[in-house]
Chain A
Amino acid sequence: MNTIVLALIILGLVGAVSSIILFFVAKKFQVFEDVRIAQVEEALPAANCGGCGFPGCHGFANACVSAPSLDGLLCPVGGNQTMQKVAAIMGRTAVESAPTVAVVRCGGTCDHRPRTSDYDGVKHCFIAHNLYSGETGCSFGCLGLGDCEVACEFDAIHVNPITKLPEVDEEKCTSCGACVKACPKLLIELRKKGPKSRRIYVSCRNEDKGHIARKSCDVGCIACGKCEKVCPHGAITISNNLAFINDDACKLCRKCVEVCPTNAIVELNFPPRKVKEESLV
């Protein structure tokens, strides 16, 4: 009986002393943090993808609270909805920004771009890129080894085993930009999603001169300049033997798609064209 009482007393004393020590330690080392940081973090999607440019969601919440205004701060995963929630917490207004999505700017499938050598190293784009220009004649095109697939936290980009090109799942893509950083050939770009997900872009990054580009790939941009001339909105520029469509100026008229001789300009999610009457004849 005595032992039990003694044990109780000793344990009780140890507990009491420890709690007092803990109390003072907590007081002394207390870190002050703005309560709003926790609230903002609560509103964020907690993906910790780093797509916003800050280290994780906590970093972004911290930035939102400490910045004077919410301009230029965007959680690409949550989009406008999340930013409005954040703005409500902060008592500010969020700037509406157009949603973007990742596009792969290479159309060189196995059919269009014949292989000229066999790569037998690690299946890793960066390693292959450091070694040489790639299995095909085009030294700008996709290597198809799937660094983007590994980088994607949202399971939104996959290399198609038949075409050996990555394909973006628009539903899942949060446009966090991880694949953009992962691609050693700089093929992936974040573009405006566009109304009803309709987009037009040049699906090529080949900066070789026209005849060289043509030799290595059927659907490469040969910088003929037809699209630049036909574009009524001045959205297309050609530099370094490569056309680029500025998505801020593009009005989705699809004229460039029609004139492109190599089909390097790609339209997405448009309804099928009306068949012109004269071609029916």
Chain B
Amino acid sequence: MKTFKMGGIHPSENKLSAGRPIQLANIPKQVVIPLSHYIGNPSEAVVKKGDFVKVGQLIGKANGFISANVHASVSGKVNKIDVQLDASGYKRLAVFIDVEGDEWLETIDRTPTIISECLLSREEILKKIQDAGIVGLGGATFPAHVKLSPPPGKKAEILIINAVECESYLTCDHQLMLEKGEEILIGVSILMRVLDVKQAAIGIENNKKDAIAHLSKLAEKHTGIRIEALKVQYPQGGEKQLIDAIIQRQVPSGRIPIEVGAVVQNVGTTFAVYEAVQKNKPMIERVLTITGKEASNPGNYLVRLGIYLASVVEQAGGVPANTGKIVGGGPMMGRSLMNLNVPMAKGSAGILFIKAEESLRKPIQNCIRCTKCVRVCPMGLEPFLLMNQSERNMWPEMEKNRVMDCIECGSCSYTCPSNRPLLDYIRFGKTTVGSIIRNRK
């Protein structure tokens, strides 16, 4: 079975919410839609206090190329535009909307019929994707239209769909594939049309056998789309690792995937593309997994953007009593949340409750040089060395040791027998070296 060639770990999967059907999250009295995402410029608000907005109406306009539109996910009156603590741990601008009814824009097709025909031209599709504010739903929330517009002279050969979901606990993509398989495949063919490629591969880890079987059956009707079952290994969902696993090409250091002829999109993104192009529905909701070893009712929920996570959690049975840490996202790359009064954002894939006794880190010991971090690093780096250099502020040396290649997957910290905070320091070094490189230009 295919997988990437270097490093990797296999944390216990804990897919507690697998097979739970996607439920609709209740809409509370007020939603707070963040105007900024992790990557790119924050969008500019185009509504003001007192305005009445409908579902799907543009409220934040993209600011620059690497930025995405934001739409109202509910109908109601704009209460204010103010700062709000979001999942990034900082206060940022957001639009507060008091919910009134559920009035949708007339252009949005809300019928369940599946439309498979798409005769739009490449530019028209791209425009629709850009207008709908679609971002990569894998976690990095990079605007989708950017990756779909390769730089001049570069031509994609294959579209790779990331349906790996290699993080433990998370099941939102898995469930989406089971319930919206046909729509996803239409989304894939639309993306193939945009990129003008003849083939697409959907990479799915082998712990989701039902999704593999379901999509393989559906894919028979679509030419050029194949399903690749992959060996279960973290971080297979890393862009470079997935390309290595599926087409056995390694993206060189500091380059982007298009240089080896591949474009990678998340499976959730393809569904959003389907909805935007065929149904004129902008990105206003996504699937969220609520899980944790002690969660009373782990499950998958379709949540409108801007709903406070606390409200969804309440619907799912509340916060377990013995919770020490709440993580937004998966356990390996997610961010710990200060509280649940943060709004749902485009990048939120899960809420994970970690038991109090598993929340604290174990005491740091001396590095015993066991080389386990080197063995598991999927990028072939030396985490122990990078950490030492970061502690001593040796930035030029870190750059030479290719700290910028680090994908921050956390395999090194996960595996270290001395509980050393390798990734913390490497991330610090990466940030610093990155700004040094930017200043040099």
B360 at the interface (CB under 8 A from A): yes
CB < 8 Å neighbour of B338 from A117, A120, A127, A212 = A117
By the criterion CB–CB under 8 Å, are B91 and A124 in contact?
A: no
Kindly state the separation between the CA atoms of A126 and B335 in the bound complex, as whole angstroms: 16
Main secondary structure of the interface of B (DSSP, over half): mixed
Residues A121 and B339 in contact, CB atoms below 8 Å apart: no
Q: Does A139 contact B (CB under 8 A)?
A: yes
Tell me whether A122 is interfacial, beta carbon within 8 Å: yes
A231 to chain B, nearest CB (A): 29
Point out the residues of chain A lying under 8 angstroms from B23, CB to CB. none
Q: Shortest CB–CB separation between residue A19 and chain B, in angstroms?
A: 39
Contacts of B361 in A (CB 8 A): 120-121
- Bound together, the chains give a CA A15 to CA B427 distance in angstroms of 55
Q: Are B83 and A122 in contact (CB under 8 A)?
A: no
Alpha-carbon distance A131/B423, docked complex (angstroms)? 12
Residues of B within 8 A of A116 (CB): 338-339
A139 touches B338 (CB 8 A): no
Name the residue on A nearest B428 (C-beta): A127
Known: A131-B335, A132-B338. Contact between A121 and B421, CB under 8 A?
Answer: yes
In the complex, what residue of chain B is closest to A117 when comparing beta carbons? B338
Q: Is the CB of B88 within 8 A of A132?
A: yes
B318 at the interface (CB under 8 A from A): no
Q: Interface 1/0s, chain B 338-369, versus A by CB < 8 A?
A: 11000000000000000000011100000000
Indicate if B414 sits at the interface (CB-CB under 8 A).
no
B90 A126 Cβ-Cβ under 8 A? no
Does A133 lie within 8 Å of B421, measured CB to CB?
no
Residues on A with C-beta less than 8 A from B427 are 127, 130
- In the complex, the answer to whether A133 meets B89 with C-beta atoms within 8 Å is yes
Flag whether A208 is at the interface (Cβ < 8 A): yes
**Interface set, chain A 212-262, CB cutoff 8 A to B:** 212
B interface residue numbers (CB < 8 A to A): 83, 85, 88-91, 335-336, 338-339, 359-361, 421, 424-425, 427-428, 431-432
Q: Is the CB of B424 within 8 A of A132?
A: no
Chain A nearest Cβ from B232, distance in angstroms: 29
What separation, in Å, do the CA atoms of A124 and B359 have in the docked complex?
19
| Closest A residue, CB atoms, query B91 | A139
Q: Which residues of A contact B90 (CB under 8 A)?
A: 132-133, 139
**A122–B359 touching, CB < 8 Å:** no
CA of A202 to CA of B336 in the docked complex: distance in angstroms? 33
**Which residues of chain B are within 8 angstroms of A117 by Cβ–Cβ distance?**
338-339
Q: How far is the CA of A130 from the CA of B90 in the complex (A)?
A: 10
Q: 5 new A-B pairs (CB below 8 Å) besides A126-B431, A130-B428? A: A122-B421, A124-B425, A131-B89, A131-B335, A208-B91
Cα distance, A133 to B89, chains bound together (Å): 6
* Cβ distance B136 to chain A, nearest Cβ, rounded Å: 21
Residue of A nearest to B421 (CB): A122
Question: When each residue 106-145 of chain A gets 1 if its CB lies under 8 Å from chain B and 0 otherwise, what string results?
Answer: 0000000000110011101011001111000001000000
A121-B424, A127-B427 known; A133 vs B91 contact (CB < 8 Å)? yes
Closest Cβ of chain A to B82, distance in Å, is 8
Counting chain A CB atoms within 10 Å of each CB, the highest count among B85, B89, B336, B339 belongs to B89
Highest count of chain A CB atoms <10 Å: which of B335, B360, B428: B428
Q: Which residues of B contact A126 (CB under 8 A)?
A: 428, 431-432
How far, in whole Å, are A46 and B344 apart by their CA atoms in the complex?
55
Q: Roughly how many angstroms separate A233 CA and B90 CA in the complex, as a whole number? A: 37
Q: Which residues of B contact A208 (CB under 8 A)?
A: 83, 91
Given the complex of chains A and B, what is the CA–CA distance between A121 and B361 in angstroms? 8
Whether A122 touches B425, Cβ cut-off 8 Å, given contacts A132-B88, A133-B90, is: yes
Please list the 10 inter-chain residue pairs (A to B) with the smallest Cβ-Cβ separation, ordered nearest first. A132-B89, A122-B424, A122-B421, A117-B338, A133-B90, A127-B428, A127-B424, A133-B89, A120-B361, A121-B424
Residues of A with C-beta under 8 A to B339: 116-117
Task: List, in ascending order, chain A residues with CB within 8 A of B360's CB.
Answer: 120
For window 154-203 of A, CB contacts with B under 8 Å fall at none
Could you say which residues of chain B place their CB within 8 Å of the CB of A132?
88-90, 335-336, 338
In the bound complex, how far is the Cα of B361 from the Cα of A120, in angstroms?
7
Q: How far is the CA of A120 from the CA of B432 in the complex (A)?
A: 22
Q: A134: nearest residue on chain B (CB-CB)?
A: B89
Known: A116-B339, A120-B359, A208-B83. A127 touches B425 (CB 8 A): yes
13 A-B pairs in the complex with CB atoms less than 8 angstroms apart: A116-B339, A120-B361, A121-B421, A122-B424, A124-B424, A126-B428, A130-B427, A130-B431, A132-B88, A132-B336, A133-B89, A208-B91, A212-B83
